[in-house]
Amino acid sequence: MSPRRSRRRDPFDRGGRAGTARPVGGTVTGIENVEEGSDGEWVVRTVTGGGTDKVYRCPGCQQEIQPGTPHLVTWPNWADGEGERRHWHGGCWRKRVDRGPGRTRY
């Protein structure tokens, strides 16, 4: 159990006027890592899930990720990869990465 932050101070204030469907960039705050998978490099961003009303569908388990649920946003780490963004449960992403005995075929 984690104590809930009652403060809702967003350091990256969006200026209130949301609603434009911008592809990416600055609207989701979080920590970014680059992970290497069998299918290339992936940017993995941890998000709190706060500040949005959107429900996402996790491609790992096909379940919905409810607003306010901390999860991961991933996309391929190559040009235009951000268009391929996917929202994953943390556990589902790990399972994806761990899948297989680590065979790599080059």
Query: At a CB cut-off of 8 Å and minimum separation 6, what does 64 contact?
Result: 55, 56, 57, 58
Out of 45, 71, 87, 89, the only residue in the binding site for Zn ion (CB under 5 A) is 89
Out of 28, 44, 58, 72, the only residue in the binding site for Zn ion (CB under 5 A) is 58
Told to check if 47 binds Zn ion by CB under 5 A, we report no
Report, in Å, the least distance between residue 65 CB and Zn ion: 7
Told to check if 55 binds Zn ion by CB under 5 A, we report no
Report the distance separating Cα 40 and Cα 31, nearest Å.
Answer: 20
Residue type, 23: P
Pair 93, 58: CB distance under 8 Å: no
Out of 30, 37, 51, 60, the only residue in the binding site for Zn ion (CB under 5 A) is 60
